C-alpha cells in the first residue's frame, strides 16, 4: 500500500472515531467567581487543540487559564475564559461552535504556499502577499489594486524582521463580485509581484495560485514561517524579547517548552498555532495569564513520536516561537479609521501615511455593511514612535472625526519589575506542579 492510501485510511479512521465519539463540551459558570470554565472532551487528532483555541479566539474570548491533557486517543481541556469586558459568559452559542469545529467535517490545514497567491470564494477573491517590508509598501499595494478597479473588502497585514505578509480580500469595484477572469488575475499578480520586488528584495517574489481556505491569522503565521522571518540578521537587537526555553523530560519522553512574556490578546493562539504547524503535538500544557505576564508550559513531541533531539532543532523551535509572539506585537501607535467605505479609500489613507513619514507595522481592514472599520499600527520610517504633531497632521488630512488614536494596553505597559515576575513565576510553578503531579509527570521533571 502506498503512502497516499495509508494517509487516506488514517483520515477515514479519525473521522469514524469522531463520529462514534462526538465532542462533549460543557460550560460551567458556577465553579469560579471570576471566569467561565469551558471543558472539552473529544477524540484526539493532530490540530484538535488549535481548533478549540481558534474558536475561543474568534469569539473574542480571553483565556486566563488553561489545563490541557491529550495523552493517547482522547483529549481533555479546561479553559477559564472571560469576555472582552472581563466578565463571565452569558452566550450559550460557544458550546455549539466548539462542537462544530471538532466534528468530522472540520477542515484540515493546507500546506504553506508561495508568496503571491490568489483564491476565489463565493463573496470575494483572496490575495496573499509576502515580501521585504519597506516604508510605503502598503500604500503602493493598495494604489495598484485601486488602479486595477479592485475594491478591498478586508485585509490583514503583518510585518516582522523586515518581512511583510498580508491576506487581502478583493471584489470587482463595479459589480462587487469576486474576480474570476484569468487575464485580470494574472495582471493583478504580475503588478503586485513587481511592487513586492522593488529594488531591495533579495529573496525575490514568487507567484502561486491558492486553493482551499485557511483561517487568515493562521495563514499569516504559515506565510511568515515559510518566508523564514524567524531568522535574525547578525547583531540584530530585538525589543520586548519573550523568554522561551526548551528542555527535556527524558523519563516520559517529552520535550518541555516554557514561554514567559507580556500577556496580550491571542497569545495562546499564536503559540499553539506555531507548535501545530511545526508538526509538534501538545500532550500536556498549563497556561496562566491573569495579570500583565503570561506563562505557558507545554509537554510536546514531534508527530513521529520523538522529542526534540538536537541542538539545532531546539534553537529553531525557540526562534520560531519568539517570532510567532513578536509578529502580533506592535510598538506603533494604534489608529482607528471608521467612515463610509468607497473604492480607493485605503489607497488614499495609506498615501497620506507615507507622505507624512509613517510606516504601517500592522493593519486590520474590515467592512461592515457600508462602513469601513480599519485599524493601523504606525511607526516612523525607522520603526520608532511617531511624534504627536505628526499624528495630528495626519488626522487633519484624513479627518479628525474618522481617524482616532487608541493605544493598546500592552504597548503602553512599563517593563515588569523582577520582584513581581518572581512572585508570579512562583505562583505559576505551584499551580503547574499540582496539575503535573496529578498526571504523574512532576516526579520525573522536578
Pick the CATH number of 1-108 from 2.60.40.1260, 2.30.42.10, 3.40.47.10, 3.30.70.260: 3.30.70.260
- Contact yes or no for 87/188 (Cβ under 8 A): no
pTM: 0.82
Model pLDDT, residue 46: 86
Residue 304 has pLDDT above 70, yes or no: yes
Three cell numbers, residue 279? 508538526
Residue 95 has pLDDT above 80, yes or no: no
Average pLDDT over residues 396-419: 65
d(CA 353, CA 364): 15
Query: Residue 103 — very low, low, confident or very high, per pLDDT cuts 50/70/90?
Result: low
Of 424, 408, 346, 336, which is closest to residue 373 (Cα–Cα)? Answer: 336
Model pLDDT, residue 383: 87
Model pLDDT, residue 235: 52
Please tell me which residue, 435 or 371, carries the higher pLDDT value. 371
Model pLDDT, residue 70: 86
Say how many C-beta atoms besides its own lie within 10 A of residue 363's C-beta: 22
Largest Cα span, the chain: 68
Asked which of 21-35, 77-91, 230-244, 256-270 is least confident by mean pLDDT, the reply is: 230-244
Query: Residue 414 — very low, low, confident or very high, per pLDDT cuts 50/70/90?
Result: very low
Residue 241 has pLDDT above 80, yes or no: no
Query: Residue 43 — very low, low, confident or very high, per pLDDT cuts 50/70/90?
Result: confident
Q: Kindly list the distances between the CA atom of residue 30 and the CA atoms of 33, 36, 41, 197, 222, in Å, as whole numbers in the listed order.
A: 7, 8, 19, 56, 39
Average pLDDT over residues 93-121: 57
Model pLDDT, residue 286: 97
In the chain, the percentage of residues whose pLDDT exceeds 90 is 51
Say how many C-beta atoms besides its own lie within 10 A of residue 379's C-beta: 20
Model pLDDT, residue 343: 86
Topology of domain 116-231+330-410, per CATH? Alpha-Beta Plaits (3.30.70)
CATH 3.30.70.260 segments of the chain: 1-108, 116-231+330-410
Tell me the three state secondary structure of residue 162: coil
Amino acid at each position: 500500500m502506498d503512502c497516499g492510501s495509508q494517509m487516506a485510511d488514517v483520515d477515514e479512521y479519525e473521522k469514524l472515531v469522531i463520529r462514534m465519539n462526538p465532542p462533549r463540551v460543557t460550560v460551567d459558570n458556577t465553579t469560579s467567581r471570576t471566569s467561565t470554565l469551558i471543558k472539552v472532551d473529544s477524540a484526539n487528532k493532530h490540530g484538535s487543540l488549535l481548533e478549540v483555541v481558534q474558536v475561543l479566539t474568534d469569539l473574542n474570548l480571553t483565556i486566563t487559564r488553561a489545563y490541557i491533557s491529550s495523552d493517547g486517543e482522547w483529549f481533555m481541556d479546561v479553559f477559564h475564559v472571560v469576555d472582552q469586558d472581563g466578565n463571565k459568559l452569558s452566550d450559550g452559542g460557544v458550546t455549539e461552535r466548539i462542537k462544530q469545529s471538532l466534528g468530522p467535517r472540520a477542515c484540515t490545514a493546507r500546506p504553506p504556499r508561495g508568496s503571491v497567491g490568489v483564491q476565489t470564494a463565493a463573496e470575494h477573491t483572496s490575495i496573499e502577499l509576502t515580501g521585504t517590508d519597506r516604508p510605503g509598501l502598503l500604500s503602493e499595494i493598495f494604489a495598484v489594486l485601486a488602479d486595477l478597479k479592485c475594491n478591498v473588502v478586508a485585509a490583514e497585514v503583518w510585518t516582522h524582521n523586515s518581512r511583510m505578509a498580508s491576506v487581502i480580500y478583493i471584489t470587482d469595484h463595479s459589480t462587487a463580485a469576486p474576480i474570476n477572469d484569468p487575464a485580470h488575475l494574472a495582471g493583478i499578480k504580475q503588478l503586485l509581484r513587481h511592487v513586492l520586488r522593488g529594488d531591495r528584495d533579495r529573496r525575490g517574489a514568487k507567484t502561486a495560485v491558492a486553493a482551499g481556505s485557511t483561517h487568515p491569522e493562521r495563514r499569516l503565521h504559515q506565510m511568515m514561517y515559510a518566508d523564514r522571518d524567524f531568522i535574525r540578521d547578525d547583531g540584530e537587537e530585538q525589543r520586548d524579547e519573550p523568554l522561551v526555553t526548551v528542555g527535556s523530560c527524558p523519563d516520559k519522553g517529552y520535550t518541555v517548552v516554557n514561554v514567559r512574556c507580556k500577556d496580550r490578546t491571542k497569545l495562546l493562539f499564536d503559540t499553539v498555532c506555531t507548535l501545530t504547524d511545526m508538526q509538534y503535538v501538545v500532550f500536556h500544557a498549563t497556561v496562566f495569564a491573569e495579570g500583565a505576564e503570561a506563562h505557558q508550559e507545554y509537554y510536546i513531541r514531534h508527530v513521529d513520536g520523538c522529542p526534540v533531539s538536537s541542538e539545532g532543532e531546539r534553537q529553531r523551535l525557540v526562534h520560531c516561537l519568539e517570532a510567532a509572539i513578536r509578529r502580533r506585537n506592535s510598538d506603533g501607535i494604534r489608529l482607528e479609521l471608521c467612515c463610509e467605505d468607497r473604492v480607493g479609500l485605503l489607497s488614499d489613507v495609506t498615501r497620506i501615511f507615507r507622505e507624512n513619514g509613517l510606516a504601517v507595522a500592522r493593519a486590520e481592514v474590515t467592512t461592515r455593511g457600508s462602513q469601513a472599520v480599519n485599524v493601523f499600527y504606525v511607526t516612523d520610517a525607522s520603526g520608532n514612535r511617531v511624534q504627536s504633531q505628526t499624528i495630528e497632521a495626519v488626522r487633519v488630512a484624513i479627518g479628525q472625526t474618522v481617524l482616532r488614536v487608541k493605544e493598546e494596553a500592552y504597548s503602553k505597559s512599563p517593563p515588569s519589575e523582577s520582584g513581581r515576575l518572581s512572585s508570579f513565576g512562583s505562583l505559576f510553578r505551584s499551580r503547574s506542579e499540582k496539575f503535573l503531579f496529578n498526571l504523574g509527570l512532576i516526579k520525573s521533571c522536578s
